[in-house]
Amino acid sequence: MDKDIAEPDPSFERIGIEDRLYGEFSDSLNTKVRYSVSLTECALTIQKISSSSDRNKVVFNLTDCVGCRAYKVEDETDVGAFFTAYFYPFKRRWMSSGMARQRVEQCFRVALVQDPLVNLQEAERWARAIRDASILQKPRRDGVVYSQLRRACRVMLLVNPQSGRGQALRYFYGHIEPMLTEALVPYTLVITEHQNHARDLVRETDLSQWDALVILSGDGLLFEVVNGLLEREDWEEAIQTPLGILPGGSGNALAASVHHYTQSPPVWGEELLLSCGFLLVKGLVSRLDLVSIHLASSRRIFSFLSLAWGFVADVDIESEKYRHVGAMRFLVGTLVRLASLRVYQGRLAYLPIKDGLLPNQGPRDHATPSTPKQGPKSSPNQNCCHSSNSTQNTAPNSSNNAITTMTAGPRPANQKGPPDSLLPDLEQPLPEHWMAVEEEGFVLVLAMFQSHLAEDLLAAPGAAADDGFIHLFYVRAGISRPALLRLFLAMEKGAHLAIGCPHLVYEKVRAFRLEPRSSEGAITVDGEVVEYGPVQGQVHGGIARLISG
Ligand SMILES: Nc1ncnc2c1ncn2[C@@H]1O[C@H](COP(=O)(O)OP(=O)(O)OP(=O)(O)O)[C@@H](O)[C@H]1O
C-alpha cells in the first residue's frame, strides 16, 4: 500500500531550485499594507514593502507548512482573491521556557488586475506552488526513506469520547478538524460507543476504502484496532494499513514516543496533540514493531507498547482512579504505591540479542551502566535454560546475526497473524540458549516496545518504532523506596539508566517468558489488564505501519 508522493505542480518545477516565485500582495485585512512574497523550494519569505529593515522579514520553512488554499470572498464588488498558508513552526512558549509547535496563518490579497478571475487564478497558482513545495522533500533516517500517504488520503478517524478526561471530542473539533481541513485531508469520523467497537469495526470493514486508520484516544483504542486487524482473514495485508495516533487518553505513550522519534523538544497535553496532528497531516509512514504475547489460556494478543508485571502494572491499574489529573496520574500512583512496596516471586527468561555471536558466547549485552562497576556480586544471576525436546535450527537472520530459532512456533487454533518462530509452547521448557534470570524476587518487570511508558515517562530512551527489539527492564528485590522513587523521577527525562542503580537491569531481547509464582499480582499489556499467569512474547520487527515523522 506504499503511496508515492503526489506529483508537484509542473509550473513550480520549472522554477528550479535557485529561482523564486515572487509577488507583491496586500494584507488581507488592510490593503494599504503591502508585502513582497517569495517562494523557493524550502521557504516562504515575507517582507513588508515599506520597510528596508530585515527585522520585518519573516521566513517560514516549508517543512512546517501543512497546506495552502485560494479563495474569493462573497463581496461581488471586490475584484481581489486571497490565498492563505498554514504553518506549525516550533516557537518559544509564551510565559514559559521551551519550544512547541504553534499554528501560524499567513493570508494575502491578490489584486493584480481588475479581472476577478485572473486574480483568483493567480491566488490558486500560489496556493498550489506552496502546497507542492511543502511536500517535495522526503525526509530520511539512517538512509531509510519514509513512504508517504498519498495526498487526499482517506482517513478513518476513531475517537473514544470517554478517553482520558473525556476531552477527546473537544480536542478533535478544536485542533484536529481545522488541521485536516487546512491540509485537505478527507476523513470520516467514527465516535466509538463501547468497548470493542473499534475492534469489531476494523475486523469487518472494507479496508480498500481507507488509506489510514487514526485513533484519537488513549493507547487502549489502538490496541483494539491492531488486534482487530490481526484477527482478519486478510491480516497480512490488513496490518499494512498505516495507523495514526493522536493523544486523547491520560497515558498517551505511543503519541509521546512518536513525538520523541522526531527528536523534537518534549511536549505534553495539547501541545503533544498539535505535534501528532502535524505529523498526521504530513503523512510520513514508518514501520512499527509488534510483539505477540501468549497468555496462559492459549490466547494470543498483539502489543505495540509494553508488558508490565509488579510495580508498574500495579501503578497503572491503581492510578485509574486519578485519571482526572491526566498524565500526572502515574506520578500520583507511583507515590501511593511506594508506600506499600511489594516483592514478586517468579521466573524470567529471555532470548538475548547477540550481534554476530551465538547466544551464550561473548560479553553480555548489559546496558546498565552500573553493572560493570559493581562486579559479579551485583550482577543478576543468569543461567541458560535447558530444553529436552525442542526442535531447533540455526539460521542467520537478515542482519547476519546467528539467531537460533524454533522450526515451528506455537500457533493456537483459529489464530490469525504471524507465526512465532522463536517461542515454544508456553508449557514447554525453553531452548538452552535462552537466558534465565534467577533472582530472590522482583519489584517490577517491564518489557518496552516503544520509548515512552506514558507522556512523561521515557522508559526506553534508545527505542525506535521499528528497531526490532524488546527493551526488557527489571528491578530486583532489595531496592529501597527512595532509590525506586529516584528511578521514576529520573525516567521523566530518560535518565534512569545513567544513575547507577544496581537493582535495575536492562537488556535488549527478541523474546521473553515470565512465570509469576506469587499468587496475587497483575500483568498489563499496553496499559490494559490481561489474565494473570505465565506469559511469553516475541517481537515481529516492523510488521505494522505507523504515521510518524
Ligand atoms: N464510548 C466508549 N465508552 C466506554 N469505553 C469505550 C468507549 N469507546 C472505547 N472504549 C474503551 O475504552 C477503553 C480505554 O480506552 P483508551 O485506552 O483509548 O482510553 P483511556 O483508558 O482513557 O486512555 P489511557 O489508558 O491513556 O488513560 C478501551 O478498551 C476502549 O475499548
> Ligand 1, residues 195, 303, 323, 331: which to mutate, most atoms within 8 A of Cβ?
195
pLDDT per residue as tens digits for the range 413-433: 457 899 999 999 999 999 999
Q: Which of 331, 307, 316, 345 is nearest to 443 (CA)?
A: 345
Interacting residues of 272 by C-beta distance below 8 A, sequence separation 6+: 247, 252, 255, 256, 259, 455
Mean pLDDT of 8-15: 40
> Ligand 1, residues 157, 158, 159, 163: which to mutate, most atoms within 8 A of Cβ?
163
Mean pLDDT of 155-177: 95
What is the predicted pLDDT for the residue at 394?
30
Q: Name the band, by pLDDT with cuts 50, 70 and 90, for residue 165.
A: confident
Residues annotated as catalytic are: 219
What is the predicted pLDDT for the residue at 373?
30
In the chain, where the domains are located: 10-137, 145-288, 293-543
Ligand 1, atom 14, residue with closest C-alpha = 220
Q: Does residue 319 have its Cβ closer than 6 Å to ligand 1?
A: no
Q: Does residue 193 have its Cβ closer than 6 Å to ligand 1?
A: yes
Mean pLDDT of 183-209: 96
pLDDT at position 458 over 80: yes
Please report, as a single letter, which amino acid is at residue 461. P
Q: Name the band, by pLDDT with cuts 50, 70 and 90, for residue 395.
A: very low
pLDDT per residue as tens digits for the range 20-40: 799 999 998 888 899 999 999
Complex confidence, ipTM: 0.97
For residue 527, the ligand 1 atom closest to its alpha carbon is 25
pLDDT at position 157 over 90: yes
Assigned superfamily of 145-288: Probable inorganic polyphosphate/atp-NAD kinase; domain 1 (3.40.50.10330)
Q: Name the band, by pLDDT with cuts 50, 70 and 90, for residue 489.
A: very high
What is the predicted pLDDT for the residue at 370?
30
pLDDT at position 220 over 60: yes
- What 3-state DSSP class applies to 201? helix
What is the predicted pLDDT for the residue at 67?
94
Of the candidate CATH numbers 3.30.1490.20, 3.40.50.1260, 2.30.29.30, 3.30.1490.190, the domain formed by 10-137 belongs to 2.30.29.30
Q: Ligand 1 mean position to 224 CA, how many Å? A: 10
Q: Does residue 251 have its Cβ closer than 6 Å to ligand 1?
A: yes
**What are the strands, taking DSSP E only, across 75-182?**
81-87, 90-92, 99-101, 104-110, 140-141, 144-145, 147-148, 155-159
Q: Does residue 162 have its Cβ closer than 6 Å to ligand 1?
A: yes
Q: Does residue 164 have its Cβ closer than 6 Å to ligand 1?
A: yes
Q: Rounding to the nearest 10 degrees, give the CA dihedral for residues 189, 194, 198, 200.
A: -130
pLDDT at position 13 over 70: no
Where is pLDDT greater, at 406 or 124?
124
Under CATH, which number does the domain 293-543 receive? Answer: 2.60.200.40
> Which long-range contacts link 91-99 to residues 24+ away (Cβ below 8 Å)?
98/265, 98/266, 98/267, 99/264, 99/265
pLDDT at position 46 over 90: yes
* Alpha-carbon gap, residue 433 to 160, rounded angstroms: 44
Q: Does residue 167 have its Cβ closer than 6 Å to ligand 1?
A: no
What is the predicted pLDDT for the residue at 34?
93
Please name the residue that has the C-alpha cell 482512579: 321
For residue 161, the ligand 1 atom closest to its alpha carbon is 1
What is the predicted pLDDT for the residue at 377?
28
What is the predicted pLDDT for the residue at 402?
30
What is the predicted pLDDT for the residue at 100?
94
Q: Name the band, by pLDDT with cuts 50, 70 and 90, for residue 55.
A: low
Please name the residue that has the C-alpha cell 513552526: 89
pLDDT at position 411 over 80: no
What is the predicted pLDDT for the residue at 506?
97
pLDDT > 70 fraction of the chain, expressed in percent and rounded: 81
pLDDT at position 144 over 80: no
Where is pLDDT greater, at 250 or 357?
250
pLDDT at position 249 over 60: yes
* Alpha-carbon gap, residue 86 to 106, rounded angstroms: 7
Where is pLDDT greater, at 142 or 301?
301
What is the predicted pLDDT for the residue at 445?
98
Q: Name the band, by pLDDT with cuts 50, 70 and 90, for residue 75.
A: confident
